Amino acid sequence: MIYPLLIFFSLWQFDDIENHHGTKIIVFNLWFNDDGNLELDFDTDPEDILISGDRKKISTLPAWKRVNEQHIANRLQYSLRDYLSILYLPVPKSFRIILRGKAVKLRNLADDLKDTEFIVYRPQNGGSEEGLFVTTIGFVKEAPEVSIHGFNVYNKNRLILPFWPVVKDLINRGRGVVGILQADDVQPTHNKQDFERTSLFQKLEMRLKDMTWEY
């Protein structure tokens, strides 16, 4: 009878949850890629879970390559620990995220900016206010070495779009400009990876583009 043993093993894995409160995620039934490696990499970093495969190549000066590669805007593309570290805004005080036995150090991306400004946007529709968006905008502290650009858009304190590049072609203006904002009046998609392309969302996108140039 293997099923009772499997149930016992599964329940035993929850014994280390403190005070019997919390959620534990167990990853299983992983796929192998074309190279015969697991789709998730558990070996490179014993305290992280990485996406297997080649990293995004960054075009920059050789002297600036490492600081760009190590910036969270690039690392969160493949590092679960880095992604979790900015998943919530504001940083919650009442719970911890434990990844592979070690707590994730939560961070507020606004603390990584310099020369910050706070910009309020109130889109209108037929004379009535559709929403309220308060954006913290500034340069990444590593600029100009790091040419990251984009807005980190949260909905109800949960990150939906990390480093959303509203300006596609950057030459000099816009390089290193990063913003953080709550967009509770915009509807996220069901998988919480994007927003519904409503007229309000399109207005917000245009305002963030203008905000980048103005800053």
How do residues 48-73 score in pLDDT, each as one tens digit?
999 887 666 666 656 567 777 778 99
**Full set of structural domains in the chain with CATH:** 2-103 (no CATH), 109-214 (3.30.230.10)
Question: Quick check: bond before 188 cis, omega within 30?
Answer: no
Average pLDDT, the chain: 85
Q: What is the pLDDT of residues 185-197, one digit of tens each?
A: 999 999 999 999 9
d(CA 90, CA 182): 10
Q: How confident is the model at residue 164 (pLDDT cuts 50, 70, 90)?
A: very high
pTM above 0.75, yes or no: yes
Place of tokens 């009535």: 128
Distance CA 37, CA 34 (A): 7
**Omega before 4 within 30 of 0, i.e. cis:** no
Q: Residue 6 pLDDT more than 70?
A: no
